[in-house]
C-alpha cells in the first residue's frame, strides 16, 4: 500500500531541518538553529552541538527537538558541529528539565546548567570554573580572593562580569590570577573537553609463559640477574592473588627499581600496557541482604508493598531508630533483583560514610555515590556508569536526580522533610523531592518518602489519600523514645542578664552520663562565639558593611564574621559610636559552648561540629567516626548533629536555647522547630538504654514543646494544619515568593510597588506585600518581597506563573527598572 504521507525520516530528508536547542543560559526561550546538510545524519536529540549566539559567542547546547518549521521572524544560523556521537541526555531527562523550568519559573538552560557535569557545558566566553579538588578550606585566601572563592564554591562557575560585581572594583585580574595560581579555579576559554581518563601502567606476562613448562624452563635456566628473578616471582604471586598487577603495586611489593623491571621488559618476559582505570574503586557486584525484619517492620514492609500496587508515592512515617533504613534496603533489593535502577536521595550533609557503609554492605559495587564533594572527573564516571546501566543504585544528594537513568524503578527520599532538598540559589530553585515525583512518573517508577517527622505537605497528601501511608511506631530493640524534660531558663537569674549556657539541671545530667560512660550531644543553632556583642555604654552593635545584620564574633580567629555574605572583619575593641571599651555578649554560639564545657568538664573529650569546624573534605565524616568510636564524650553542634545519624551510646541530648528555634518569622517556624527538636532527641538512647533530652527554654508554654515532649507527631500535625488553613498557607495553598533586588533601596522598593500594582487587577486577591524581609540588605543589595498564596488548582497556578513571567518581562522593559533583579521562587522554604 502506498502511504499518502511520507514517513518521518523521509520528510526530514526532504525539507531543510531545524533544531530547537537548549543553551545553558537564562534565555527567555529555546532558540532554533538550522542543521546543515553535512551534519544531518549526526544531529540527534540529546546530542550536544556547537553553536554561536549573539556576537560570535560559542556554546555547546543540547538538541531538544528536530523539526522542519522554519522560524518566521528571523533567519536561523547553522549549527557548527555535532559534539557527541550518541545522545548524552535522554528524553525523560529533557522532560524533567522542561517541567522544572516551567514549575520553578526559570529557563531550561538554567536547569541544564545545574543538571550536567561541567564537562558537558562548554562556552567560549571566559568563565571561571571552581576547582572542586581544592575543597572549601579558604583559610589561605585574602579577603578579595575569599569572596570570589566562596561565590565560586556555591555557583561552581562565574563570568568575569559577575566577578567584577562581587569585588566592586575594576582591578579584578590580579585577584583572578592569584586564584588560578592557587588552583582555586580554572579559566575556561576555548571549547575543550577536559575530561581526562586516568591511565595506569599495568604489567602483563608474555603469553608464551602462561604455559607452565615454558615458564619452568625459563626459570630453571635463569642467568645472573637474581633480583630480576625475585621481581618475576613477586609478579607471579601478585597476579595470582590480585588478578591484575599495576607497575606501581609491583615495584612496591617487590621493593624493586624501575631498572630491574625494565630488564625483564627488554627480555620480553613482561610487557607494560597503559590502560584507563576507573577513578572510583568499585566493590564486588553482589547483593546480600542478610538480615530479617522485626515483626513490626515486616508488617510495615508488607503494607508498603500492598500500597505500591495502587499508589505511585508512599510515605513511611517511622519514629527515629525504628528501622526505616532497613525497610528501604529490603525495598531496594526487590527492584535491583528485577534489574531496575534505584535512586536513594539524602540531604547532602547526611551523606556520611555511615550510611554509605550500610548500603555497600548489602549492595557492594552496584551502588554509586554522587555528591558535591566529588571532583568533576568522578562525577562524569558515575554519569557514564548510570547511563550504561552498570550502576544500579545511586546514593546521592539532590542533584543526583539529574543523572541519566535508563531504567528507573524506585526513588527513595530519605529525611523527606529536609529543607535542603530545595535549591535556594541560584536557579533552578527546584525541590528534588517534588521533582522526583514528576520524574518517577515518566518511568512509572515508585517513590518512597521516609521520615520520623514528615513535612506537613507530605503527611497532608498521605491523609488525603494522594500518597500511601505506612506508620512504624516502635523503635528497633523495643527501646522507648527518650524522656523529655523542659528546663525553664526564666527561673535561673544571672547577674549580667546574659543567656544561660548550662543550667544546673543539664550540668548534673551531663556529669551523671559521663560517669556512666555515656555520650552527650548538645545542640545550638548558632555557630561562632557570640552572635552579637553590644556596647555596654550606648547599645551600639557591630554590623556588616554589606548586609543589614549584626556580626558574629569568632574567638578562635578573633574576627567578626558576617554569616550572610561571609565578609570577615577585625574584632572591634572600642565602640564606633561612643568610644567605650566594654562590650557585653548577649548570646552564645557553638564556639562559646565548647569553651564553657572545657572549663566545666576539664576531663571530658569535647568536640564541635559546625561548618567552621568541618571545612575540609573529610572533616565532617571524621568527627562522626570519632564519636562512633567513643573517642569523643561531648559533641556540641549545629543542625549538622541532627541529620540521620545512628549512635549507640548517647545518654543525654541537650537543646541549649530552644527559644531561638521557636522564634523565626516564618510560617514554617513550628514545623521546623518540631522537626529539629524531635530529630535531635532521636539521637538519644538508641539500642542499649533509654536516653533523655533536656530542653532549655524561656517560653515554656510554646505548644510545640508540648508535642515534642509527647513525641506526638499526629497531634502536632493537627495543631499546625489548623493554623495553616486559617491563614491559607500550604498545604492549603501554594506559594510563590518574588524577590526584588537592587543596590539602591528606593529602586528595589519602587519596582516592587509598581509590579504589585500591575498585578493587582488579576492576582490582587492572592497577594501579600510587597514588604521588606527581616534582613533587607545582603551583599549591598536591598531586598523587597512579594508573596502570592494561590489556591491549589494547577490551571490557575500555571496561569499565575504565566502572568508573572510576562510582568517580569514588562518590568524589565521599563528603563528605570531594567537593572532590578527579580527572582520568582515557587514553593520557597
Q: Which residues bind Zn ion (CB under 5 A)?
A: 535, 537-538, 540, 544, 546-547, 562, 564-565, 567, 575, 577-578, 580
Q: Which does 576 bind (CB under 5 to 8 A by kind): ligand ADP, Zn ion, none?
A: none
575 binds, among ligand ADP, Zn ion, none (CB under 5 to 8 A by kind): Zn ion
Helices of type H across 690-793: 703-710, 713-726, 745-763
Q: Pick from 323, 409, 542, 654 the residue near ligand ADP by CB under 6 A.
A: 323
Smallest distance, Zn ion to C-beta of residue 407, A: 47
Q: Which among 681, 719, 675, 687 has a CA at the least distance from the CA of 486?
A: 681
3-state secondary structure 395-420: EECHHHHHCCCCCEEEEEEECCCCHH
CA distances from 607 to 348, 649, 741 (A): 21, 16, 40
**Which CB atom, from 188 or from 476, has the smaller least distance to ligand ADP?**
476
Q: Please report whether residue 297 would count as binding ligand ADP according to CB under 6 A.
A: yes
| 376 binds ligand ADP per the rule CB under 6 A | no
Q: What track of x and - describes contact with ligand ADP for positions 431 through 470 (by CB under 6 A)? A: ----------------------------------------
Residue 618, CB-side half-sphere exposure with 13 Å CA sphere = 5
CB of 477 to ligand ADP, least distance (A): 7
CA–CA separation, 237 and 732 (whole Å): 69
| Spatial separation of the C-alpha atoms in residues 710 and 241, rounded to whole Å | 57
Centroid of chain to Cα 297: 29
- Gap between the Cα atoms of 60 and 64, Å rounded: 13
**Among ligand ADP, Zn ion, none, partner that 325 touches (CB below 5 to 8 angstroms by kind):** ligand ADP
DSSP summary character for residue 76: P
- Assess 321 for contact with ligand ADP (CB under 6 A): yes
Cβ nearer to ligand ADP, comparing 311 with 683: 683
Instruction: Return the one option of Zn ion, ligand ADP, none that residue 318 interacts with (CB less than 5 to 8 A, by type).
Output: ligand ADP
Beta-strand pair 692-697/650-655: parallel
For 477, other C-beta atoms within 10 Å of its C-beta total 11
Q: Which window, 147-155, 313-321, 486-494, 814-822, contacts ligand ADP (CB under 6 A)?
A: 313-321
- Per CB under 6 A, the segment of 318-326, 423-431, 573-581, 599-607 that binds ligand ADP is 318-326
With CB under 6 A, what is the number of residues at the site for ligand ADP? 14
Which CB, 164 or 780, lies closer to Zn ion?
A: 780
CA dihedral (45, 48, 51, 54) in degrees, to 10, reads 90
Nearest-approach distance from CB 519 to ligand ADP, in angstroms: 15
Q: Which of 48, 311, 317, 324 binds ligand ADP (CB under 6 A)?
A: 324
Q: Indicate the residue among 225 and 568 with the shorter CB distance to Zn ion.
A: 568
Confirm if 383 and 401 have CB atoms less than 8 A apart.
no
352 binds ligand ADP (CB under 6 A): no
Q: Which does 291 bind (CB under 5 to 8 A by kind): ligand ADP, Zn ion, none?
A: ligand ADP
User: In DSSP terms, which residues pair with 570 in a beta bridge?
Assistant: 559
**Chain mean position to CA 421:** 7
* Dihedral sign, Cα of residue 582, residue 586, residue 588, residue 593: positive
547 binds, among Zn ion, ligand ADP, none (CB under 5 to 8 A by kind): Zn ion
Residue 293 binds to ligand ADP (criterion: CB under 6 A): yes
Distance CA 454, CA 399 (A): 21
Figure out which of the listed residues 61, 87, 109, 318 binds ligand ADP, where binding follows CB under 6 A. 318
If binding is defined by CB under 6 A, does position 407 make contact with ligand ADP?
no
Retrieve residue 308's grid coordinates: 505500591
**Alpha carbons 481 and 691: distance in angstroms, whole number:** 8
Cα dist from 584 to 9, 10, 18, 498, 588, whole Å: 77, 80, 69, 8, 11
Residue 670 binds ligand ADP (CB under 6 A):
no
Cell of 170: 575594576
C-alpha cell at 431: 525541590
Residue 156 or 711: the one with the smaller Cβ distance to ligand ADP is: 711
* The one segment of 316-324, 393-401, 662-670, 720-728 that binds ligand ADP by CB under 6 A: 316-324
- The sign of the CA dihedral 192, 194, 195, 196 is positive
Residues in the chain: 829
Q: What is the smallest separation between the CB atom of 551 and Zn ion, expressed in angstroms?
A: 8
Q: What residues contact residue 239 under an 8 Å CB cut-off, 6+ apart?
A: 205, 245
For the CB of residue 539, give the shortest distance to Zn ion in the complex, in Å. Answer: 7
Decide if residue 326 touches ligand ADP (CB under 6 A): yes
Nearer to ligand ADP, 323 or 428 (CB): 323
Site string for ligand ADP, 625-664 (x = CB under 6 A): ---------------------x------------------
Q: How far is the CB of 375 from ligand ADP (least distance, A)?
A: 30
476 binds, among ligand ADP, Zn ion, none (CB under 5 to 8 A by kind): ligand ADP
Minimum gap (Å) between residue 776 Cβ and Zn ion = 13
> Bridge partners of 19?
33, 66
Preceding omega of 770 cis (within 30 degrees of 0) = yes
Q: What is the DSSP letter of 467?
A: S
User: What is the rounded CA–CA span in Å between residue 141 and residue 132?
Assistant: 16
Return the H-helix or E-strand segment holding 652.
strand 650-655
Measured distance CA(39)–CA(82) in Å, rounded? 7
Sequence-distant (6+) residues with CB within 8 A of 569 are 542, 544, 551, 559, 560, 561, 562
Q: Nearest approach, Cβ of 687 to ligand ADP (angstroms)?
A: 7
Compare residues 778 and 790 and give the one whose CB is closer to Zn ion: 778
Does 581 engage in binding with ligand ADP (CB under 6 A)?
no
Q: Does 298 bind ligand ADP (CB under 6 A)?
A: no
Out of Zn ion, ligand ADP, none, which partner does residue 297 contact, by CB within 5 to 8 A per kind?
Answer: ligand ADP
Cell numbers standing for residue 12: 526530514
**107 contact, one of Zn ion, ligand ADP, none, CB 5-8 Å limit per kind:** none
Give the span between the Cα atoms of 149 and 131, in whole angstroms. Answer: 10
**Minimal distance in Å, beta carbon 621 to ligand ADP?**
17
Q: From the list ligand ADP, Zn ion, none, pick the one residue 294 interacts with, judged by a Cβ distance below 5 to 8 Å according to partner type.
A: ligand ADP
| Least distance to ligand ADP, CB of residue 454, Å | 13
Site residues for ligand ADP, 485-524, by CB under 6 A, read none
Residue 476 near ligand ADP by CB under 6 A: yes
- Which one of the spans 293-301, 331-339, 512-520, 722-730 is the region binding ligand ADP (CB under 6 A)? 293-301
291 binds ligand ADP (CB under 6 A): yes
3 state SS of 27: coil
Of 540 and 732, CB closest to Zn ion: 540
Work out whether strand 127-130 and strand 81-82 pair parallel, antiparallel, or are unpaired: unpaired
The partner in contact with residue 565, picked from Zn ion, ligand ADP, none with C-beta cut-offs of 5 to 8 angstroms by kind, is Zn ion
CA distance 67 to 43: 12
Q: DSSP string spanning 149-166?
A: HHHHHHHSEEEHHHHHHH
Nearer to ligand ADP, 118 or 325 (CB): 325
Return the residue of 320, 399, 675, 781 that touches ligand ADP, per CB under 6 A: 320
Q: What span, in angstroms and rounded, lies between the C-alpha atoms of 512 and 529?
A: 27
Q: What is the Cα 582 distance to its own chain's centre?
A: 42
- 82 or 547, CB closer to Zn ion? 547
Stretch that binds ligand ADP, among 155-163, 251-259, 289-297, 530-538 (CB under 6 A): 289-297
Can you give the binding site for ligand ADP, defined by CB under 6 A? 291, 293-294, 297, 318, 320-326, 476, 646
Amino acid at each position: 500500500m502506498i502511504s499518502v504521507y511520507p514517513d518521518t525520516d523521509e520528510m526530514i530528508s526532504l525539507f531543510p531541518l531545524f533544531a530547537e536547542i537548549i543553551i545553558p543560559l537564562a534565555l527567555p526561550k529555546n532558540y532554533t538553529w538550522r542543521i546543515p546538510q553535512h551534519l544531518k545524519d549526526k544531529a540527534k536529540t540529546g546530542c550536544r552541538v556547537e553553536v554561536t549566539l549573539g556576537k560570535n559567542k560559542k556554546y555547546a547546547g543540547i538538541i531538544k527537538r528536530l523539526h522542519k518549521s522554519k522560524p518566521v521572524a528571523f533567519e536561523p544560523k547553522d549549527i557548527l558541529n555535532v559534539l557527541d556521537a550518541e545522545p548524552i541526555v535522554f528524553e525523560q531527562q529533557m522532560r524533567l528539565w522542561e517541567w522544572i523550568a516551567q514549575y520553578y519559573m526559570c529557563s531550561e538552560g538554567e536547569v541544564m546548567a545545574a543538571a550536567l557535569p561541567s564537562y558537558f557545558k562548554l562556552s567560549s566566553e571566559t568563565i571561571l570554573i571552581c576547582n572542586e579538588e581544592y575543597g572549601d578550606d579558604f583559610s589561605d585566601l585574602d579577603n578579595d580572593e575569599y569572596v570570589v572563592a566562596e561565590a565560586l564554591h556555591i555557583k561552581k562557575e562565574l563570568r568575569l562580569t559577575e566577578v567584577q560585581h562581587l569585588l566592586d572594583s575594576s582591578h579584578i585580574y590580579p585577584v583572578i590570577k592569584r586564584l588560578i595560581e592557587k588552583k582555586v579555579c580554572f579559566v575556561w576559554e576555548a571549547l575543550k573537553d577536559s575530561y581526562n581518563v586516568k591511565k595506569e601502567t599495568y604489567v602483563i606476562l608474555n603469553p608464551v609463559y602462561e604455559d607452565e613448562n615454558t615458564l619452568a624452563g625459563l626459570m630453571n635456566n635463569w642467568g645472573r640477574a637474581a633480583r630480576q628473578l625475585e621481581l618475576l616471582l613477586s609478579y607471579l604471586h601478585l597476579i595470582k592473588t590480585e588478578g591484575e598487577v599495576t607497575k606501581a603495586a609491583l615495584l612496591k611489593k617487590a621493593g624493586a627499581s624501575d631498572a630491574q623491571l625494565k630488564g625483564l621488559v627488554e627480555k620480553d618476559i613482561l610487557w607494560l600496557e597503559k590502560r584507563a582505570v576507573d577513578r572510583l574503586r568499585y566493590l564486588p557486584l553482589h547483593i546480600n541482604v542478610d538480615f530479617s525484619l522485626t515483626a513490626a517492620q515486616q508488617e510495615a514492609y508488607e503494607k508498603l508493598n500492598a500500597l505500591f500496587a495502587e499508589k505511585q508515592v508512599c510515605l513511611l512515617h517511622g519514629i527515629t531508630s525504628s528501622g526505616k533504613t532497613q525497610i528501604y534496603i529490603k525495598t531496594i533489593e526487590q527492584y535491583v533483583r528485577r534489574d531496575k535502577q534505584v535512586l536513594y536521595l539524602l540531604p547532602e550533609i547526611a551523606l556520611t560514610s555511615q550510611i554509605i557503609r550500610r548500603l555497600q554492605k548489602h549492595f557492594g559495587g552496584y551502588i554509586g555515590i554522587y555528591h558535591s564533594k566529588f571532583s568533576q572527573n568522578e562525577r562524569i564516571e558515575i554519569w557514564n556508569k548510570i547511563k550504561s546501566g552498570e550502576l544500579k543504585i545511586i546514593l546521592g544528594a539532590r542533584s543526583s536526580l539529574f543523572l541519566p537513568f535508563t531504567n528507573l524503578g524506585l526513588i527513595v527520599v530519605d529525611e523527606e522533610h529536609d529543607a535542603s532538598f530545595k535549591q535556594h540559589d541560584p536557579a533552578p530553585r527546584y525541590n528534588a523531592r517534588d521533582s522526583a515525583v514528576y520524574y518517577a512518573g515518566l518511568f512509572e517508577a515508585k517513590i518512597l518518602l521516609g521520615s520520623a517527622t514528615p513535612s506537613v505537605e507530605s503527611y497532608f497528601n498521605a491523609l488525603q489519600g494522594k500518597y500511601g501511608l505506612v506508620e512504624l511506631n516502635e523503635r528497633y530493640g523495643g527501646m522507648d523514645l527518650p524522656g523529655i524534660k523542659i528546663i525553664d531558663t526564666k527561673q535561673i537569674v544571672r547577674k549580667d542578664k546574659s543567656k544561660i549556657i548550662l543550667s544546673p539541671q543539664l550540668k548534673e545530667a551531663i556529669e551523671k552520663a559521663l560517669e556512666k560512660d555515656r555520650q552527650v550531644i548538645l545542640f545550638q543553632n548558632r555557630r561562632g562565639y557570640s552572635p552579637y556583642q553590644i556596647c555596654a555604654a550606648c547599645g551600639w552593635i557591630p554590623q556588616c558593611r554589606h548586609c543589614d545584620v549584626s556580626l558574629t564574633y569568632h574567638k578562635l580567629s578573633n574576627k567578626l564574621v558576617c554569616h550572610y555574605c561571609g565578609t570577615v572583619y577585625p574584632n572591634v575593641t572600642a565602640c564606633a559610636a561612643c568610644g567605650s571599651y566594654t562590650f557585653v555578649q548577649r548570646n552564645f554560639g557553638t564556639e562559646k559552648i565548647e569553651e564553657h564545657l572545657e572549663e566545666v568538664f576539664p576531663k571530658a573529650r569535647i568536640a564541635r561540629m559546625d561548618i567552621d569546624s568541618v571545612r575540609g573534605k573529610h572533616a565532617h565524616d571524621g568527627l562522626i567516626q570519632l564519636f562512633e568510636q567513643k573517642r569523643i564524650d561531648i559533641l556540641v553542634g549545629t543542625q549538622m548533629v541532627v541529620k540521620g545519624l545512628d549512635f549507640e551510646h548517647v545518654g543525654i541530648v541537650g537543646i541549649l536555647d530552644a527559644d531561638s528555634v521557636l522564634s523565626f518569622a516564618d510560617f514554617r517556624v513550628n514545623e521546623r522547630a518540631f522537626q529539629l527538636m524531635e530529630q535531635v532527641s532521636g539521637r538519644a538512647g538508641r539500642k542499649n538504654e533509654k536516653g533523655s533530652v533536656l530542653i532549655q527554654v524561656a517560653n515554656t508554654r510554646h505548644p510545640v514543646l508540648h508535642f515534642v515532649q509527647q513525641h506526638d507527631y499526629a497531634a502536632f500535625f493537627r495543631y499546625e494544619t489548623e493554623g495553616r488553613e486559617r491563614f491559607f498557607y500550604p498545604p492549603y495553598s501554594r506559594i510563590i515568593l518574588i524577590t526584588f533586588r537592587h543596590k539602591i533601596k528606593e529602586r528595589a522598593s519602587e519596582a516592587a510597588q509598581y509590579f504589585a500594582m500591575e498585578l493587582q487587577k488579576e492576582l490582587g486577591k492572592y497577594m501579600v506585600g510587597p514588604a521588606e524581609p527581616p534582613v533587607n540588605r545582603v551583599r549591598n543589595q536591598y531586598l523587597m518581597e512579594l508573596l502570592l498564596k494561590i489556591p491549589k488548582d494547577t490551571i490557575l497556578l500555571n496561569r499565575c506563573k504565566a502572568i508573572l513571567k510576562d510582568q517580569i518581562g514588562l518590568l524589565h522593559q521599563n528603563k528605570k527598572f531594567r537593572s532590578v533583579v527579580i527572582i520568582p521562587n515557587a514553593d520557597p522554604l
